[in-house]
Amino acid sequence: MTSALDGAFSSSGHGPHSRLGVVLLHGFTGSPRSMRGWAESLADAGFAVRLPLLPGHGTTWQDLGTSRWQSWYGAAEQAFAELARERSQVFVAGLSMGGALALRLAAHRPVAGVLLVNPGLTIADPRAPFSGLIKYVLKSVPAIGNDINMPGIDEGAYDRTPVAAAHQLGRLFKTVVADLPRVTAPTLVFRSAVDHTVPESSMRVLRRRIGTDRLEVVPLADSYHVATMDHDAELIYRRSAEFIQTIAAASATHTGATRAGA
The residues carrying an active-site annotation are 96, 195, 225
HSE at residue 220, side-chain half, CA atoms within 13 A, is 29
The residues that bridge with 50 in the sheet, in sequence order, are: 10, 23
Q: CA-CA distance, 131 to 136, in Å (whole number)? A: 9
List the alpha helices (DSSP H) in the chain. 36-44, 61-64, 69-86, 97-108, 131-134, 163-179, 200-209, 233-261
Q: CA-CA distance, 213 to 22, in Å (whole number)? A: 21
Q: CA-CA distance, 37 to 59, in Å (whole number)? A: 21
Rg (Cα) of the chain, in Å, rounded? 18
Kindly state the DSSP code that residue 34 receives in the 8-state scheme: G
